[in-house]
Amino acid sequence: MRLAIQWVLSIIYVIQNAVMMLLMGILFFPWALFSPKGATAACRTYATWAIWTARWLVGIRSEVRGQVPSGAVLVPAKHQSFLDIMMIFKVLPQPRFIMKYELLFTPIIGVYAWRLGCVPVRRGKRGAAIKAMLADVESGRVPPGQLAIYPQGTRVPVGEYVPYKVGPYALYKETGQTAVPVATNCGMFWPKGTMLRKPGLAVVEFLAPIEPGLSQKEFMTQLEAVIEDRSNALMQEAGFDLDTVRR
């Protein structure tokens, strides 16, 4: 019975979230079209709404831990859920995201992403994608801020492992910026591939900075270790059995 009620509440949550995204997208569109501030305001308003309604409607509480960066840094983040995107976006002062190129052609969302300064990347040949990403960042189109990138390149369901890609290191090396890794357990409560939302404490945690100057091997080894270890610890804290993680 409890599960059935949670399913009903989850469906209501998903529907109202979609409606609010559309309404806010339309309402803020003229401002966003002419100013990046409008795009930022729209996305922050929506993220705030989605996170707030998740708490009282489906029981997902949220918490941000660690020191949130404020300067021009890279933010390589664990990605399990749309929820971790919203939580990261909501707290960063000037958030930018590496995103799938196809999203540029999504109605309204594409305009918002472009106005925010997000960096579109075509999936396919790794070398070409990295060159295009670096060119976009170095062109000056992307204003200074916190550039978030997902090292595994996709949402990774809880209990699964996907190898880390070299994109974060390419940005780390070429920009000379500090990297601030992010761990999360959001996928436990907002899973990939289902409308069911599960109650609990969703956490996004900003970890110790990785200063410039490391080699590719050093950087990637450290990045993966700190993100995976801390994400596993957050999931274990929320009751996940780490023995089911497949590597």
Residue-wise pLDDT tens digits, 73-98 = 999 999 999 999 999 999 999 998 88
Residues 6 or more apart in contact with residue 87 via CB below 8 angstroms:
47, 51, 62, 64, 184, 186, 202, 204
CB 29 within 8 A of CB 108: yes
The answer on pLDDT for 247 being more than 50 is no
pLDDT score for 162: 93
Tell me which of 110 and 188 has the higher pLDDT: 188
Does residue 225 register a pLDDT over 60? yes
Encoded tokens for 51 = 């996170």
Q: What is the pLDDT of residue 135?
A: 67
How many residues in total does the chain contain? 247
SS (H, E, C) 167-227: HHHHHHHHHCCCECCEEECHHHCCCCCCCCCCCEEEEEEECCCECCCCCHHHHHHHHHHHH
State yes or no: pLDDT of 117 exceeds 90.
Answer: no
* Residue percentage of the chain with pLDDT more than 90: 66
Q: Which comes out higher in pLDDT, residue 138 or 217?
A: 217
Closest C-alpha among 174, 238, 183, 180 to residue 208: 180
Q: Which pair of tokens denotes residue 234?
A: 């957050």
Contact between 77 and 206 under an 8 Å Cβ cutoff? The reply is no
What is the pLDDT, as a whole number, of residue 196? Answer: 96
Measured distance CA(67)–CA(208) in Å, rounded = 8
**Whole-angstrom distance, CA of residue 38 vs CA of residue 119:** 18
Closest alpha carbon to 133 in 29, 125, 14: 125
Q: What is the pLDDT of residue 124?
A: 59
Pick from 227, 244, 228, 241: which is nearest to 74 by CA?
227
CA 99, 103, 105 angle in degrees (round to 5)? 145
Tell how strand 200-206 and strand 182-184 pair up: antiparallel
CA 161 – CA 80 distance, rounded (Å)? 11
| 235 pLDDT higher than 90 | yes
What pLDDT does 103 receive? Answer: 72
Mean local confidence (pLDDT), 45-71 = 96
pLDDT score for 156: 93
For residue 149, what pLDDT is reported?
Answer: 94
pLDDT at 113: 83
Burial of 173 (0-12, 13-18, 19+ CB in 10 A): middle
The better pLDDT of the pair 16, 153 is held by 16
- Residue 17 amino acid letter: N
- Going from the C-alpha of 72 to that of each of 6, 75, 92, 246, the distances in angstroms are 41, 10, 11, 35
